Amino acid sequence: MRTASLRKLTVGAVAAGLVLTGCGTTAEGGSASGSGEDGPVSGLRVLVPNSPGSGYDTTARVVAKTMEDVELASGIEVFNLEGAGGTVGLQRLVNEDGNADLLMQMGLGVVGASYTNESEATLEDTTPIARLIEESEAIVVPADSPYQTLDQLIEAWKADPGAVPVGGASNPGGPDHLTPMLLADAVGLDPTTVNYVSYDGGGELLAAILGNQIAFGATGIGEVAEQAAAGDVRILAVTSEEPVEGVDAPTLTDEGVDLVFTNWRGIVAAPGISEEETQRHVDLVTEMHDSEEWQQALETNGWTDAFLTGDEFSEFLGEESQRVQTILGELGLA
Amino acid sequence: MGALGELLNGFGTALSPENLLYAFLGVLLGTAIGVLPGIGPAMTLALLLPLTYALPVTSALIMFAGIYYGGMYGGSTTSILLNTPGESASVVTAIEGNRMAKRGRAAQALATAAIGSFVAGTIATLLLALLAPTVAEIALLIGPADFFAIIVLAFIAVTSVLGSSRVRGLAALGLGLTIGLVGIDATSGQQRLTFGIPELADGIDIVIVAVGLFAVGEALWTAAHLRRAPIQIIPVGSGHMSRDDWRRSWKPWLRGTAIGFPFGAVPAGGAEIPTFLSYVTERKLSKHPEEFGHGAIEGVAGPEATNNASAAGGLVPLLTLGLPTTATAAILLVAIQTYGIEPGPRLFDTEPELVWGLIASLFIGNTMLLVLNLPLAPLWARLLRIPRSYLYAGILFFSALGAYAVNASPFDLFLLLAIGGLGFMMRRYGLPVLPAIIGVILGPFAEERLRTALQISDGDLGGLVTPLSVTVYVIVVLVLLWPLVRRLLPGKAAVPVLSEAAHEVEESHSHHGLTESVSAERGVGGEDRTP
């Protein structure tokens, strides 16, 4: 075994102390705004509208760590405020009008949730900073499923949608719910007839697929790639524009379905901040994105780079909201 | 390849001084956060995730596993002493555990919880080491229809805790079921009973309901009667388990392990339903059913063994299939991934050192937990000698801290107070608290499983019929018919054990000097109860 270094132990002890005193969750961050053009930004807080350990949480913590590692920022505090698919956190961010030290980790799920929860606060109220990463969704069936190709699946699906239940790990409005609905729409099937089974987390969904309880699943490629490699499940198609590296499956477009749809994650800031402050956040995130460490983090976590900032991100956000609202509207959820 | 040989190698990994230290740190932290209400093992692990950047993977996982087990155990301490369960897995422990503490048997309750956790944890870890792949495969075959059948069985068992007045018991159950409805419906996306409050959209946390009804309700009740009722001194018993305690504990430990382990291994099995099932099983099988509701040691030994066994069970799908079935397991998964290791079906082959080191450290962690906690039990028990007014102030403080810490949201404090107010009113009007808690636990599970099963079968009721579910339904019928059958059997007097036991719980939950309302109610409710 490797020998323990004193530093490692200290890290452990300090972290332990933090947990015991509850500092990690409740402490208010410093109020000083990062001002220096040269020095690292300080006093930044990142709100995660989801539980510790969730996808957003991991992303936010990796972003914070990368920024600190490359000395772009110091003492970033990542805190969680979960609830209602992220809309509780969204409301909080919108309430912090003009607070230039608060960022929020978000993604496609928050877009959907803001409609299904009829949230008062919307993403249009926030200041978009950047889209960071995206993950393709997979259309996946059990290994001994009768469906060998996407065509076979869609044929059976259109013939009797009720008898072909599809599972996903998100509530209505989330990525795994939107994927089969958009897919149905794209292949000419009425989304309201889709038999969507919502599972509480990727683990339960995967169990249902492995246990042959549902006809197919729609979920993030990362949730099923390892099982597909081991031959326990079969990925019929991925929803991204390009095939996913290391996954032996065609894209929907390859299979003749006109749909490109990915689950993405990005960062927004509080409303009412000045243009300079917005630009400073955009610069900060851009510098982080260009760092070696971030590229390394992308690889470690299996994320696909989908960097988009400022106005382009705003535009994308608008289009995505429109698309989500339309499909949820058809389902009577928005 | 022998699993035992691999396990020995695992001990080689886990027994290095450095890893021993991390295991110790883990169980210590785990126990501490288990004791603190509101901060669960999942949140602690998430906060400690950055550690994985500085530690070798095996050490980090060993520490995390210690936290996982420690948290499962630590939750029992506040349940027993203060009636404030810190984790959903220890809600059931509070029922008898706190009664025992009130009778001056806190040390015994804590001891049986500690030893039960150790026994269950050790056996379950052994099962994990030897049978993991087989168990995981079988667990996958259990679908929502089977699960629903098991919940129906649990609902039948609820009748045994309804209390002396069926009507009031059912009303309390209804209250619990209603609280369980709050939130966004996962199938249709519609909001139910949220009144436009976004904080309610995810439903009300079971811990907040339990702490509100048990602890806050009781504190308010005590405060309302403190001046009028004579001061009850909590007797201080001996600090150790007697021979009788041992005799009454060992079977519940083993039964708890048998119930908890498979539930942990089944995706979405959780710890709430198995702990409740363990409780009602012990109640049915106990030779001292009259003690249930007054602090029966079986009612602590069983559920505590169950929740630790289910924690070990939860590692089965994680390690063999890469399936996280609990929030804590999901974070362990994230931790493994930060090292670039993809947990999945191939983990046992690709990372034997990691897997077996982890399993070995579970044994070590378990032993450390026992060594750490057993001597502490009498010390903890002294906490109850604090004068009642201060004690309840402390309980309120802890409850509020816990409710706030879950989400750092002031809203949860109001919610806690509102539910505490409900708990007070229920005591005032003689509604038993227990069925309400059971309703909150079982309702959402039952609904979700039933709907998922029917969705998968596209509305066909035949979807509820599977070999396992039929077996369970047969058991349900047998349980229902048993009293009739017994009455028909010659030579045996029909003993209305159930209603008697139910009566005890009712009484225990309107404790501290019975109110007029309860006594008056007993006259009415007693009639249909008499055999």
| Chain B residues with beta carbon closer than 8 angstroms to that of A86 | none
B323/A19 Cβ within 8 A: no
Both structure tokens of B265: 């291994």
Q: Please give the torsion angle defined by the CA atoms of residues A148, A233, A204 and B56, in that order, rounded to the nearest 10 degrees.
A: -160
pTM over 0.80? The answer is no
Residue with tokens 């404030």: B84
Task: Tell me which of A68-77, A158-167, B382-391 is least confident.
Answer: B382-391
List beta partners, residue A73: A41
**What is the bridge-based pairing of β-strands A196-198 and A127-142?**
unpaired
How distant is the Cα of A326 from the closest Cα of chain B, in angstroms? Answer: 16
A37 in contact with chain B, both atoms CB, cutoff 8 A: no
Q: Which residues of A touch B142 (CB under 8 A)?
A: 211
Rounded-to-integer distance, Cα A306 and Cα A107, Å: 12
pLDDT, residue A233, reads 92
Please answer yes or no on whether B18 and A18 come within 8 Å at the CB atom.
Answer: no
Give contacts of B45 with chain A, Cβ < 8 Å: 52-53
**What domains lie within chain A, and their CATH numbers?**
43-134+264-330 (3.40.190.150), 139-262 (3.40.190.10)
pLDDT of A203 reads: 79
Query: What is the per-residue pLDDT across B414-439, written as a single tens digit (0 to 9) for each?
Result: 999 999 999 999 989 988 888 898 88
pLDDT digits over A273-302, tens only? 888 889 999 999 999 999 998 998 888 777
CA separation for the pair A62, B52 (Å, rounded): 12
Instruction: Inform me whether the C-beta atom of residue A53 falls under 8 Å from chain B C-beta atoms.
Output: yes
Residue B523's pLDDT is 37
Residues contacting A54, CB < 8 A, separation 6+: A48, A82
Residue ranges of A 90-129 with Cβ closer than 8 A to chain B: 91, 116-119
A334 touches chain B (CB under 8 A): no
Q: Between chains, do A206 and B50 touch, taking CB under 8 Å as contact?
A: no
Query: Across residues B123-146, what is the average pLDDT?
Result: 84
pLDDT tens-digit map of B241-290: 888 888 999 999 999 999 999 888 887 777 888 998 899 889 888 888 88
Per-residue confidence at B140, pLDDT binned at 50, 70, 90? confident
Residue A52's region, left for phi above 0, alpha for psi from -120 to 50, else beta, is beta
Instruction: Using the predicted structure, report yes or no on whether residue A58 has a pLDDT greater than 50.
Output: yes
The pLDDT of residue B341:
75
Q: Which of residues 138-197 of A touch B (CB under 8 A)?
A: 162-163, 165, 171-173, 195-197
| Shortest distance, CA B203 to any CA of chain A (angstroms) | 9
Q: Rounded to whole angstroms, what are the CA distances from B80 to A314, B17, B283, B376, B377?
A: 54, 34, 18, 14, 11
Encode pLDDT of B392-401 as tens digits: 888 888 888 8
Question: Is B140 within 8 Å of A79 when comparing Cβ atoms?
Answer: no
pLDDT over 70 (residue A176)? yes
Q: What band does A184 get if pLDDT is binned at 50, 70 and 90?
A: very high
Ranges assigned E (strand) in B325-457: none
| pLDDT greater than 90 at residue A142 | yes
More confident residue, B511 or B206: B206
Size of interface A-B (CB pairs under 8 A): 198
| pLDDT at residue A234, as a whole number | 94
B248 Cβ contact list (under 8 Å, min separation 6): B286, B287, B288, B297, B298, B301
The 8-class DSSP code of residue A49 comes to S
Smallest CA–CA distance from A206 into chain B, residue:
B323
- pLDDT tens figures, B183-233: 878 777 777 888 878 778 778 888 888 889 988 998 898 888 876 666 565
Asked if A52 and B407 come within 8 Å (Cβ–Cβ), the reply is no
pLDDT, mean over chain B: 80
User: Residue A238 and residue A244: Cα distance in Å, rounded?
Assistant: 7
Percent of chain A beyond pLDDT 70? 88
Min distance A332 CA to chain B CA atoms (Å): 10
pLDDT of B187: 77
Residue A267 has a pLDDT of 93
Note whether B181 and B192 are within 8 A (CB): yes
Interchain contact A6–B (C-beta under 8 A): no
Q: Which of B49-63, B338-352, B489-503 has the highest mean pLDDT?
A: B49-63
Would you list the DSSP string of B18-35? HHHHHHHHHHHHHHHHHH
What single string gives the DSSP state of each residue in A172-195? TTSHHHHHHHHHHHHTT--GGG--
Model pLDDT for residues A70-85, shown as the tens digit of each residue: 888 888 888 888 777 7
Amino acid, res. B270:
G
